[in-house]
Amino acid sequence: MCGINIAGMSDTATKLSAQSLNLWFGSKQVLKNINVAFNKNEITALIGPSGCGKSTLLRTFNRMHDLVPDVRIEGEISLEDHNLYEDGLSVTQVRRRIGMVFQKANPFPKSIYENINYGLKINNIPAADRKGIIENALKESYIWDEVKDELQKPATRLSGGQQQRLCIARAVALRPEVILMDEPCSALDPLSTSKIEELILKLKKDYTIVIVTHNMQQAQRIADKTVFMYLGEIIEAGPTANIFEHPQNELTGNYVQGHFG
């Protein structure tokens, strides 16, 4: 089995891609010859059984493994024409261009306002611009109406779904090009989940979105493309309807039909 490109590597629609990517934790190889490309203004879902390497792959795009001892990465990750691991880009520069939202909402133990302001400060956004950026990010993340009168309230007092929308606002405030989402709805109730899905669908107008999900309905509701992984490899990738309705590989079919997971 080998990695499959979703879009041609030279395609001008490609925003982020991995070429011949291999990753080991110690002696254990967790990613095997990954070749994949994510298009601008599309949502791509990464699916596959627990432990197949979805989060590990997502994290390579944000240099989250930089401080993990014993990790070895080979191959290339390109953000348009930059190699994320070689072109002298700092982690801060990479994360400004590629934001990440985690499974469990992780607001800082500070006010709603300061949760967004902090990232702007460390990225040297002038103080005079920050108030407007914060307001826009909260509006863009569909949470402004709920928090506009209590911006100084501790973010940890928001509901789980509100905290997750705040974390998305924190990511979009920096105007990244790509947003990575690692099971962003797994801790949320159905109503909060549908709000986040609506938000993700709206955000794809401006961003490239890659989302790890265990929820097959969610992948079908929101993803333009789907990538199925198994034991560290990409087994099949393509338009979401093809993966779910006409999988080419038996493993893919068995997984999306819920025969294993």
* Residues found near ligand ATP in the complex (CB under 6 A): 25, 30, 48, 50-56, 68
CA distance 123 to 93: 9
User: Rounded CA gap, 193 and 233, in Å?
Assistant: 29
Q: Give least dist CB 137 to ligand ATP, A.
A: 28
55 vs 208 by CB, closer to ligand ATP: 55
| Whole-number Å distance between alpha carbons of 153 and 175 | 24
Tell me the closest approach of the beta carbon of residue 185 to ligand ATP, in angstroms: 14
Closer Cβ to ligand ATP, 89 or 231, answer by number: 231
**CB-wise, 8 or 51, nearer to ligand ATP?**
51
Q: What's the CA gap between 221 and 196, in Å, rounded?
A: 12
Minimum Å gap between C-beta 67 and ligand ATP is 10
Q: Are 214 and 183 in contact (CB under 8 A)?
A: yes
Distances (CA, A) of 77 to 12, 20, 28, 57, 208: 16, 9, 21, 11, 15
Which pair of tokens denotes residue 223?
């993803």
d(CA 180, CA 61): 8
Residue whose CB is less far from ligand ATP, 64 or 203:
64
CA 22 to chain centre: 19
Q: Compute the least distance from the CB of residue 213 to ligand ATP, in Å.
A: 9
Closest CB to ligand ATP among 55 and 62? Answer: 55
CB of 176 vs ligand ATP, minimal distance in Å: 21
